[in-house]
Structure 1
Amino acid sequence: MLQKLSNILSRNFPFLKDKKILIAISGGIDSVVLTHNLAALNFNISLAHCNFNLRNTESDLDEVFVKELAKNLAINCFTTSFETKKVAKEKKESTQIAARNLRYAWFQEIIEDHNFDYVLTAHHADDNLETFLINLTRGSGLDGFTGIPEINGNIVRPFLKFSREEILNFAEENNISWREDKSNASTKYVRNKIRHKVLPVLKEINPNLLDTFSKTLDNLQESKQIINDRIEDVLSNIIVEESGFLKLRINKIQQLSNPKAYLYQLLEKYNFTGFNDIYNLLSAQSGKQIFSKTHALLKDRDFLIVSKINRSSSKKTSFEIKENTSEIKKPIHLTFKEVTDRSVLNKNTIYVSKEYLKFPLIVRKWQNGDYFYPSGMTGKKKLSKYFKDEKLSLLEKQQTWLLCNSNEEIIWIINKRQDNRFVATTNNNLIKISNQTK
């Protein structure tokens, strides 16, 4: 096994050599054997163990075991403790999801604080097959059937080519001890039910199931690559990026052979799931929206517009700016500076004579009935008409801020148009106002 792992590391993960590596270790056989192998191969490793406090004293004994293992191998060990059930309840997540999120977030903290390059986990071939079958029972796209990725950012899984049986044999042959999680024997959880009741039957039907499955994964991953290449070709005709939004051309989508399938490939990474509803959005009235946990999808005339949902708890839509303020960072980043010339000319900057400003200034969202005097034009114009003429989407209108005087006169539709009444005519007492928001 040691030689096989060495070959896999050299072939698939040559970038790990001489890097600073953190091994995620539970105390179970998989992560313990991975630790022993990498120590024997002289990799620069440290251990990271999470105590999720889910199994009373058993969880504490796991932590003691891991610390002792690190001591015996003369390697560093990081440990932490979580009140996992409490976090799961607060976030309305399953215990397993909460534990996973806590675990990976902590790994990234260690990486940043201690300059590690990669985290290695001990997921193996049986884990991969179990995940495939879980996704099969729940319904999944191609991504759910291509297996646990060997490399996902700075997370690396070098054990995916090894079976649980190989790992067990290596541990027994080399007198390696480990901690057995008794909950793994329970069929309470879906994964354990598949492990103990489904896989034995499948392996009885096909004793070489893991090898067959490995070939199937290779075929699916190759098919996925073909799809990804095709999606890249399609994207250039469909996607437009404007004002920080991702816009999909509806007419181009409708010309595709299977619009719903392409929409799935384009939008799955934004956590959308109801693709029948999304397909129907193509012919829906403008203004209709669909939401995922993280994003909104809006039908706006000839486009579907993707935007990230702002989870800010603040519902405040109006902010005051006192006199002599040089900078604000909420709700947007504005700077105020006295200058003697107009050296910067762009949509993010305006110049106003100081005597025009009536404090406190106000930054707010637009309201029905708002009007202004567009610079370069005579007469006033309602903002609703201005937005329509500029063909702003509902999302763009919702995210537009106004800079106003204390008497509500609009000075600037920020990043879009200055009011003609406040355009400086001289360089005396000149105030430069800039939006620094990226």
Structure 2
Amino acid sequence: MLQDFKKHINASFSFLKGKRLLVACSGGLDSVVLTYLLKHSDFDLALAHCNFSLRASESDSDEDFVVTLADKLSIPVFTETFQTKQFAKDHKVSIQMAARQLRYDWFSQLLKSTHYEYVVTAHHADDALETFLINLSRGSGLRGLTGIPEINENIIRPLLPFSKAQILAYAKKENLYWREDSSNAASEYLRNALRLHVIPFLKETNSSILDALQKTQRNLRDSESLIQDYMSLVYNLVITENFDGYSIHLQKLLELPNTEALLYELLSPFGFTDFTALSALLTAQSGKQIFSETHRILKDRDVLLLTEVIKDVEELSVTIPKKTSKITTPIPLHFEIVDNRVLSNDATIFVDYDKLQFPLTLRKWKEGDSFQPFGMQGKKKLSKFFKDEKVSLVAKEKMYVLCSGNEILWVVGMRMDDAYKVTPQTQKILKITKAV
């Protein structure tokens, strides 16, 4: 196996020559074999071990084993202990998802804080089959069936062409020692159930199933590549980027065949994987929205607005005393006494200073707000004003108003109130500018 491994490294990972590698080592069979294969291939290694605190003394014994292994091979070792159950509870995720996030976040930090350049993991052909079956059982799209990537930025997986049987045979031949994770025998986890019961049956039925899977996934990756080329064309046709996200133009999208599938492909990279919910947006009323962990899609008339979810942002309201020259939050405004009024625009207004009631207040608009738009007679609800001006739902959420007392002086960036305009009787002019 060592010679086959070296050939695979030379063919697929020649860029690793001379690089310093962190081996993700649990102490189990796969990662121990990976460590020895890389060591015997003359790589500059260190081990990185995660203690997830899930199996009491067993977890600590795993850590001790990895530290001893590193000492035996005369290579550095990094260890980290995590309170995985508490993290899962705090973040409302499964234990498996918590461990995965903690592991890869720590690997990323290690790469930044050390001179090592890549993390190498021990995923192999049997893992690829397990992942394929898991994603298949969950109704995954094509992307979920293409397999575990051999290279994912700075994560390298050089054992993917090799089976568990090959890895075990090598370990026995070399008289290697490793740790057995007792939780691997627990069938309540889907992956373990597949490993213990389904995959052995499949191998018994078809002894070349791992080779067949690799061939299938190569074909699927080729198909996905074609789809991505097509999606680049669709993206340019139906999506407009703006300052706060993306607009998907539904009429243009609906003119294309396989509309629902196209929408799924456009949005799944942002964490949207519920095909049914995405399809329903096509005929939903304005205001309908759905969320992923990182983004939101909002139906606004004939467009879908895709924006990033900003968590834990306070609704700021600030007071602005006399003689203030500028503020920077929640939005930047500049204040200046000037001698003459010039043409106003969306970002600059001129107001009668003596009509103002200080301190001024800057706040988010709210339902029920009204003002008298400059140049118009009578009051108008802001909600109606925004509708008439065709302000998107996303833009409305970010709209601030500048108030004098209880009256709106300016819908910032749009229109000032007519009551504060400069007239021939004005003695003092205040220029207010929304900075870019």
| Partner of residue 114, structure 1 | 114
For residue 419 of structure 1, report the CA deviation from its aligned partner.
5.9
Change (3 A) 1:33 1:352: farther
Amino acid paired to 1:51 = N
Matches within 5 A, 1:125-164: 125-164=125-164
Matches within 5 A, 1:42-53: 42-53=42-53
Taking the aligned partners of 1:115 and 1:328, their CA distance within structure 2 comes to 43
8 Å CA contact retained: 1:51, 1:63: yes
Taking the aligned partners of 2:385 and 2:307, their CA distance within structure 1 comes to 22
Q: Does residue 165 of structure 1 match 2:201?
A: no
Taking the aligned partners of 2:11 and 2:279, their CA distance within structure 1 comes to 43
| Partner of residue 401, structure 1 | 400
For residue 238 of structure 1, report the CA deviation from its aligned partner.
0.9
Unaligned runs of 5+ in 2: none
| Partner of residue 21, structure 2 | 21
For residue 207 of structure 1, report the CA deviation from its aligned partner.
0.9
| Partner of residue 291, structure 1 | 291
Change (3 A) 1:163 1:243: same
16-25 or 172-181: bigger deviation: 16-25
Matches within 5 A, 1:258-407: 258-312=258-312, 314=314, 316=315, 318-321=317-320, 330=329, 332-334=330-332, 336=334, 350=348, 359-367=358-366, 368-371=368-371, 373-374=373-374, 377=375, 382=380, 383-407=382-406
Taking the aligned partners of 1:398 and 1:81, their CA distance within structure 2 comes to 42
| CA deviation profile, 1:348-396 (whole Å, cap 9, x unmatched) | 964768957754442211133332544xx56677433442233211121
- Report the identity percentage: 46
405-414 or 280-289: bigger deviation: 405-414
Amino acid paired to 1:304 = L
8 Å CA contact retained: 1:88, 1:95: yes
Change (3 A) 1:216 1:419: same
For residue 127 of structure 1, report the CA deviation from its aligned partner.
0.3
| CA deviation profile, 1:140-170 (whole Å, cap 9, x unmatched) | 1111111112222222212111111111122
Matches within 5 A, 1:40-79: 40-79=40-79
Number of residue-to-residue matches in the alignment: 428
Change (3 A) 1:18 1:301: same
| CA deviation profile, 1:187-230 (whole Å, cap 9, x unmatched) | 22111111111111111111111111110110111111111111
8 Å CA contact retained: 1:424, 1:430: no
96-105 or 1-10: bigger deviation: 1-10
Query: What is the SS of the residue equivalent to 1:79?
Result: strand
8 Å CA contact retained: 2:399, 2:411: no
Unaligned runs of 5+ in 1: none
Change (3 A) 1:96 1:385: same
For residue 247 of structure 1, report the CA deviation from its aligned partner.
1.2
8 Å CA contact retained: 1:118, 1:156: yes
55-64 or 397-406: bigger deviation: 397-406
Amino acid paired to 1:280 = A
8 Å CA contact retained: 1:135, 1:144: yes
Change (3 A) 1:50 1:341: farther
Change (3 A) 1:327 1:152: farther
8 Å CA contact retained: 1:327, 1:333: no
8 Å CA contact retained: 2:361, 2:405: yes
Q: Does residue 245 of structure 1 match 2:237?
A: no
Amino acid paired to 1:76 = P
Taking the aligned partners of 1:144 and 1:275, their CA distance within structure 2 comes to 14
| Partner of residue 215, structure 2 | 215
Amino acid paired to 1:266 = L
C-alpha RMSD of matched pairs (Å) = 3.2
Change (3 A) 1:238 1:320: same
For residue 290 of structure 1, report the CA deviation from its aligned partner.
2.7
Change (3 A) 1:120 1:409: same
Change (3 A) 1:405 1:229: same
For residue 424 of structure 1, report the CA deviation from its aligned partner.
12
Change (3 A) 1:199 1:424: farther
For residue 423 of structure 1, report the CA deviation from its aligned partner.
8.2
8 Å CA contact retained: 2:25, 2:48: yes
| Partner of residue 199, structure 1 | 199
Query: What is the SS of the residue equivalent to 2:46?
Result: strand
For residue 20 of structure 1, report the CA deviation from its aligned partner.
3.3
8 Å CA contact retained: 1:21, 1:118: yes
8 Å CA contact retained: 2:339, 2:429: no
Change (3 A) 1:105 1:15: same
Query: What is the SS of the residue equivalent to 1:53?
Result: coil
8 Å CA contact retained: 2:349, 2:416: no
| Partner of residue 38, structure 2 | 38
Taking the aligned partners of 1:94 and 1:380, their CA distance within structure 2 comes to 57
Taking the aligned partners of 2:149 and 2:360, their CA distance within structure 1 comes to 52
For residue 14 of structure 1, report the CA deviation from its aligned partner.
2.9
Taking the aligned partners of 1:409 and 1:39, their CA distance within structure 2 comes to 71
153-162 or 397-406: bigger deviation: 397-406
| CA deviation profile, 1:262-313 (whole Å, cap 9, x unmatched) | 1111111222233334323222322222333433222211112222233216
Amino acid paired to 2:60 = D
Change (3 A) 1:16 1:288: same
Taking the aligned partners of 2:36 and 2:434, their CA distance within structure 1 comes to 58
8 Å CA contact retained: 1:297, 1:307: yes
Change (3 A) 1:200 1:300: same
Matches within 5 A, 1:71-90: 71-90=71-90
Taking the aligned partners of 2:253 and 2:308, their CA distance within structure 1 comes to 21
